[in-house]
Amino acid sequence: MGEPLVGRMREFGTTVFATMTKLAVETGAINLGQGFPDTDGPQRMLEHAAEAIRGGFNQYPPGPGVPELRQAVSDHRKQWYGLAYDPDGEVLVTVGATEAITAAVLALCEPGDEVVVFEPYYDSYAAAVAMAGAVRRAVTLRVDAGRFTFDPAELEAAVGPRTRAILVNSPHNPTGTVFTREELEVVARVCQERDLIAITDEVYEHLTFDGVEHVPLATLPGMRERTVMISSAGKSFSVTGWKTGWICAPAPLVAAAQTVKQFLTFTASAPWQLAVAYALREEMAWVAAQRAALEAKRDRLAAGLEAAGFGVLRPAGTYFVQTDIRPLGFADGLELARRLPELAGVVAIPTQVFYDHPGRGRHFLRFAFCKRDEVIDEAVTRLRRLGGTARPAV
């Protein structure tokens, strides 16, 4: 029969998260690879989901999403960002941010169109672009003054006559960078000068640290009309398994995404939608407490990684910290990630897998800190053994 998988998907094997999580399970290592919290979201929100199920809210909800959630999303955008989106026509509920991104790319990009992404990028972007038959152009985020940022000239150079869209993820996974207003102004200028659509992945919108503010690209002058703004309950409310996300955009862009979305999944699961509508209204104080707790976890893991000998790039948001492995005498993050369970009983993610130019991310390892303190402490204790191991020149 030969290789059954179509050519355009062949570069995408099993995701690195599945591979590394399997390695953690097989070896009994602590999993600081995949970014899921090991504690639950707000209790009342969980009860709302259970009540929705018991109350018979179990049949197909409307395609765009249940009205309660669309209204809650619209109110949340208005309250937090001063952005007005009509719950009827400008809000679309999706099966997580992942489906929102894929539906937007499939709906807006013709085969051969180009999509600009910032590398290292969240892995589903590349797959979504490939499914559309489009072509990605990666702009590399490089370390400058302790954070990852981009060179405006490289962004401009990445845009060509076939460029249709730019995918912007801030707060950014896997680097932890939160784009500043000045950086977003560069993106906004390029979008407007070159007539591009911005697809923004803002799933970590509420998880920023040290008082750093998340600025949605759509709030910049001239950007609301060309931005597909994507969020998700998974990260904000620590329910990554609920897969409930949403798109906010002008009606023609939402209609385009919905045309595709209705044949991917038709609609998102009903019970979670009611629970998330409740949470967006009533649990933002819980989110604020969660943000503070995560900031403390970032500091805890960062200090531990520094003590273990890693070069640490302190993130301004998200669940993740990037480390430079060279101070420990290692050079290749992929090789170290494979050996880390045996060397130290910990699993991390080699950042180079998120690049089109892997050499540029070869010396980085990503660790997740959205874990209980005792898990972080045990991981750090184990990682401190690394300094004592032979320093192979890998």
Per-residue contact string for residues 331-370; x = within reach of ligand PLP by CB under 6 A? ----------------------------------------
Pairing outcome for strands 320-324 and 364-368: antiparallel
Minimum CB distance to ligand PLP smaller for 168 or for 346? 168
Q: Which stretch binds ligand PLP (CB under 6 A): 16-24, 63-71, 139-147, 240-248?
A: 240-248
Rounded to the nearest whole angstrom, what is the least distance from the CB of residue 100 to ligand PLP in the complex? Answer: 8
Q: Is the CA virtual torsion 78, 62, 122, 381 positive or negative?
A: positive
Rounded to the nearest whole angstrom, what is the least distance from the CB of residue 172 to ligand PLP in the complex? Answer: 7
Question: Closest by alpha carbon to 86, among 282, 247, 281?
Answer: 247
- Rule CB under 6 A: is residue 122 a binding residue for ligand PLP? yes
Query: Which helix (H) or strand (E) element contains residue 72?
Result: helix 67-81
Measured CA to CA, the distance from residue 110 to residue 129 in angstroms comes to 10
Angstrom CA distances, 250 to 83, 97, 272, stand at 11, 18, 25
Rounded to the nearest whole angstrom, what is the least distance from the CB of residue 241 to ligand PLP in the complex? Answer: 8
Question: Closest by alpha carbon to 81, among 73, 89, 71?
Answer: 73
Minimum CB distance to ligand PLP smaller for 366 or for 382? 366
**Tokens, residue 15:** 């995701």
Q: For the beta carbon of residue 301, count every other beta carbon within 10 angstroms.
A: 27
Q: Which residues pair with 312 in a beta bridge?
A: 323
CB-based closest residue to ligand PLP? 96
Any idea which residue has 């045309």 for tokens? 259
Q: Which stretch binds ligand PLP (CB under 6 A): 63-71, 78-86, 139-147, 230-238?
A: 230-238
The correct pick among 42, 96, 309, 345 for binding ligand PLP (CB under 6 A) is: 96
Minimum CB distance to ligand PLP smaller for 319 or for 330? 319
- Phi/psi for 164 (5° steps) reads -105, -35
Any idea which residue has 């990503």 for tokens? 366
Angstrom CA distances, 99 to 246, 285, 308, 336, stand at 9, 28, 38, 32
Measured CA to CA, the distance from residue 63 to residue 58 in angstroms comes to 14
Report which residue type is found at 247: I
Minimum CB distance to ligand PLP smaller for 240 or for 351? 240
Minimum CB distance to ligand PLP smaller for 95 or for 386? 95
Per-residue contact string for residues 175-214; x = within reach of ligand PLP by CB under 6 A? --------------------------x-x-----------
Q: Is the CA virtual torsion 286, 292, 295, 299 positive or negative?
A: negative
Rounded to the nearest whole angstrom, what is the least distance from the CB of residue 64 to ligand PLP in the complex? Answer: 17
Minimum CB distance to ligand PLP smaller for 129 or for 386? 129
Rounded to the nearest whole angstrom, what is the least distance from the CB of residue 355 to ligand PLP in the complex? Answer: 15
Minimum CB distance to ligand PLP smaller for 276 or for 302? 276
Any idea which residue has 């209790």 for tokens? 43
Rounded to the nearest whole angstrom, what is the least distance from the CB of residue 176 to ligand PLP in the complex? Answer: 11
Q: Which stretch binds ligand PLP (CB under 6 A): 93-101, 128-136, 159-167, 287-295?
A: 93-101
Measured CA to CA, the distance from residue 304 to residue 283 in angstroms comes to 31
Minimum CB distance to ligand PLP smaller for 117 or for 302? 117
The contact set with ligand PLP (CB under 6 A) reads 96-98, 122, 169, 173, 201, 203, 232, 234-235, 240, 243, 245
